[in-house]
Every structure is written in C-alpha cells, then in structure tokens.
Amino acid sequence: MSPKTPNNSNSWPAWLDLIQGISGLVLMLFVWAHAFMVSSILLGKDAMYFVARMFEGEPIFGRPYPILVSLVAAFIFFIFIIHAVVAIRKMPSSYREFRVYREHAKVFKHGDTSLWMLQVVTGFVLMFLVSGHLYQMLVHPADIGPYASADRIWSGRWWPIYLVILFAVQLHGNVGVYRLALKWGWFTSKTGHTSRRTLQKAKWGITAFFLILGLLTLAAEMKVGFEHRDNVGERYQPSDQATGLTPLNTDREPH
C-alpha cells in the first residue's frame, strides 16, 4: 500500500515506522552533537564555560538567556516522547510474545535479532533515566557550566545515572541508526548490494568512539566536582574575567 493513503488502516504501520525512524535519527544526531559539546570540559573549564554561554545566546544578545536551553530541552523532550510512544508498540507486551521472539532468535541465530532485543532493553531504561535528565535541564537551564555541572555530577550523585545513560543511549541509538541504514539502503552500492559487514564495523566503531569520549568527559567532570566539593554552589568565572581583562556582566552571575 502506498503511504500516501493514511486513511487506509493498512498504511498506518508504514507511517509509524517512518515517524519512528525520523524521530530516532533526530535524537541520535542531537546525542552526537551533545557529546561533543559537553566534552569541551576536556579542553579546560574556560572552553566549557564558552560553550555553555554560547547556547544561552550570550555572544548574540550580550547576556545569557537560559530560557534558550529550556526551549531546546522542551523540543528534544517532545521528540523523545513521540519516539517512545511509537516505538513501544514493538516491544513484547506479554511473556507469550517474548517466548515467540526467543524461539525466533534460536531458529535464525542472527546477530541483528539480538541487537533488536538490546534496543528493547536499553530503550526501556532510557524512557525513565533520560526523562529525568531532560526535566532537570528544562527546569534548571542555568545549571550548566564547569562548576554547576560538575557539582551536580559529583556532589549531587548524578554520575551513576549519567554512566548508565551513556552506555544505554549509545548502544540504543547507534544500533538504531545501523538498522535504519540497512532498512532504507542509505549506503547501497551501484550493484544494489549493501555491505552489512561494513555497516556493522561502522556501527561498533562509532559506538566505541562516543563511549570513550563520554567516559573521558564524565571522568573530567567528576574530577572537577571532587576538587570543588567544598564550594558547592559557587559559579565559575573564566580566567579573563577573573583577572579583570574583560568587563563583567554584573547583573547576573552566569551558571
């Protein structure tokens, strides 16, 4: 059936698959970009301070507006909810359905079948943990910065949650992109053949890269938080402002 006839009930599964794929891809592109943004702490506190202020619009408006962070968090939260609602229909809803999947996996013994269950498990975890993280960013958008983020991770004891989110989101998302590439034939050769092995190598290579980057970033944040544990709540001042090289915006202490 053509997806151009949404009134036909037989076309809805195709439309839902399309919505699931697009929303998942948007979320994963954001996750990759987010990984690079937060990894700015690896370049130093000043680098992370600059990135945080940039997303609050300070270079454009002359002062930070944390509401911009809330708007981005609200948009991502909206896409996340859509993706979860559409994707949950494919999860086993009973032990009977799980048993059918298990028997299917035993018969075919295909690695991609196991990856599907990995997505189910990690997706279930992410529905709870990512929701909490996005809510935190939505209602406390100014609490982003070298000290504010590190204090939340170390003194606020968020690091175990972020560690689980890191592995769950990278495994879930990168497997999802891999499945989309196979499904839609994004890297199909001129002969019409898609190299599954090449895509598998790319999938695990990208996953390993972002896991290593995420672990290094989390370790750096924990180190800053540990060193700053006696001054929780103090906000970071960049080195040029601390030495008086540039004027300070004294109407608001940046987070």
Does some domain include residue 4?
no
CA 180/CA 163 separation, integer angstroms: 26
Domain count, the chain: 1
Distances, alpha carbon 21 to alpha carbons 183, 213, 224, in Å: 10, 25, 38
Phi, psi values for residue 133, rounded to 5°: -65, -45
Does some domain include residue 93?
yes
What average pLDDT does range 163-176 have in this prediction? Answer: 96
Does some domain include residue 81?
yes
Does some domain include residue 250?
no
- Domain range for 34: 15-235
Does some domain include residue 91?
yes
User: Structure pTM?
Assistant: 0.82
Provide the angle, in degrees to the nearest 10, between the axes of the packed helices 12-38 and 45-55. Answer: 140
Does some domain include residue 249?
no
What average pLDDT does range 64-81 have in this prediction? Answer: 95
| CA end-to-end distance (rounded Å), the chain | 53
> Are 203 and 175 in contact, with CB atoms under 8 Å apart?
yes
Q: What is the CATH number of the domain that holds 117?
A: 1.20.1300.10
Tell me, what's the pLDDT at 43? 96
Find the radius of gyration of the CA atoms of the chain: 22
Quote the tokens at residue 62. 């002359």
More reliable by pLDDT, 73 or 9: 73
pLDDT in tens, 98-153: 666 666 666 666 666 778 888 888 999 999 999 999 999 999 998 999 999 999 99
Quote the tokens at residue 235. 């906000």
SS3 call for 127: helix
Does some domain include residue 243?
no
Does some domain include residue 251?
no
